[in-house]
Amino acid sequence: MDSAHSAEGTPPGVPAVAITRVAERQWHAVEDGRVVGRGDASPRPDGRIFLSIDSWHGAVFDQLADAMLAALPTPLYTVVDEADLELTSSWARADFTTRRREWEYLVSTDPRVTGLDSVPPPSGVTIVPVGAAQKGPLREVYNTIRAEVEAAVGWESMPVEVIHRSVGAAPHDPSRYAVAAESGRYVGLVRVTARRRHARIGLIAVQADLRRRGIARALLAHMLGSLHHSGIETASAEVDESNGAAMALFEGIGARRASSNLELVFR
């Protein structure tokens, strides 16, 4: 795919660029044979399309945004660091508005710091460690929880899920999940992506009829303890500011707010 158009009547001091759609979801801004800006449209597992634009010049950003918005179905989304005022302003010029705010929390994995060293699961509940969950029941509890959230506040209120996997790989990889089990069925889960020195907790959730029993806290205690044992000292988690229960869970173990992201939408 290769379609292009050039900016006409460009004001003085503004780069005269050609915007080229080089792939189904990729655009380049080209000036004098050089790529001076790039735009990408990335579909997420929940079906929404998130945009990203990389350019040094604000006018090039605007031209890429115009081309992408004209070619893609709405609504469209993007995520920005709230502290990046220049980028936030650039998306505002393209008529993106704030949909929600997500706080990033940093938490120690040391149980002596979090106070989770003596947090057992509730009576009748066992924690299945990372990598030991069965794929079928894991998929079942994930789908159950997702349907419950969708019917309540909407799955879009959950942290944006970015899964890097090869074609054909299982979407619910047990190596990334620990689960809570009761009476032979899975009733809660926590998902983590670990790096050498850091880990990201992408999701922690319990079935609606079993909440407020301490299952989420037990899952978090297990996951953080496992990370600490493997030598990872800090984990991060993103929490929607409207999710008071999740914020209380993390702040209750000493997690601190490190930054905030804004999810913007163009309708």
| DSSP line for 150-207 | HHHT-GGGSPPP-----TT--SS-GGGEEEEEETTEEEEEEEEEE-SSEEEEEEEEE-
pLDDT of 46 above 90:
no
Asked whether 27 and 35 are in contact (CB, 8 A), the reply is no
| Residue 220 to residue 249: CA distance in whole angstroms | 9
Residues linked to residue 180 through DSSP beta bridges, in sequence order: 127, 188
Look up the pTM and report it: 0.77
pLDDT at 262 over 50: yes
Q: Which of 49, 73, 109 has its CA nearest to residue 229?
A: 109
Q: 211 versus 162: which is more confidently predicted?
A: 211
Residue 35 has pLDDT above 70, yes or no: yes
Classify 68 as helix, strand or coil.
Answer: helix
Residue 156 has pLDDT above 70, yes or no: no
All structural domains of the chain, each given as residue ranges with its CATH number in brackets, are 3-101 (no CATH), 103-159+172-260 (3.40.630.30)
Cα 205 to Cα 44: distance, rounded to the nearest angstrom: 20
Read off the pLDDT of each residue in 54-73 and give the average, rounded to a whole number: 95
CB atoms within 10 A of CB 69: 15
